[in-house]
Amino acid sequence: MDTTVAKGFAVLEVLSRAKRPMRLSALTETLGFQKSNVHRLLGTLIELGYVQKDEETARYFASLKAWELGVAIISTNALRRMISPHLQKLHQLTLDTVLLTVPVGDEVLFLDRVAPARVLRYTPLNGTRAPMAVTASGRIFLSAMSEPQAAMSRGLAERPDLNMTPGEIMQELPKVRRDGFAVVTGGLTARVRAVAAAISGADGRPVAAITVSNGESRMTGEHLQEAIEALLTTCAEIGEISPP
Taking only the tens place, the pLDDT of each residue in 127-179 is 788 899 899 999 999 999 988 888 888 888 877 777 778 888 888 999 999 99
**Is the pLDDT confidence value at 243 over 60?**
no
For the chain, the average pLDDT equals 87
pLDDT tens string 168-193 = 888 899 999 999 999 999 888 888 89
Instruction: Report d(CA 35, CA 65) in Å as an integer.
Output: 25
- Tell me, what's the pLDDT at 108? 93
Instruction: Report d(CA 109, CA 132) in Å as an integer.
Output: 9
Burial grade of 66 (CB within 10 A; 0-12, 13-18, 19 or more): buried
- Tell me, what's the pLDDT at 119? 59
Instruction: Report d(CA 153, CA 142) in Å as an integer.
Output: 12
Q: pLDDT tier at 44 (50, 70, 90 boundaries)?
A: very high
**Is the pLDDT confidence value at 202 over 90?**
no
- Tell me, what's the pLDDT at 190? 81
Domains and CATH numbers, the chain: 3-68 (1.10.10.10), 77-238 (3.30.450.40)
Q: pLDDT tier at 79 (50, 70, 90 boundaries)?
A: confident
Residue 24 DSSP SS3 = helix
Which residues have CB under 8 Å from 37's CB, separation 6+?
Answer: 7
Which residues have CB under 8 Å from 235's CB, separation 6+?
Answer: 197, 198, 199, 210
- Tell me, what's the pLDDT at 177? 93
Share of the chain above pLDDT 70, in %: 94
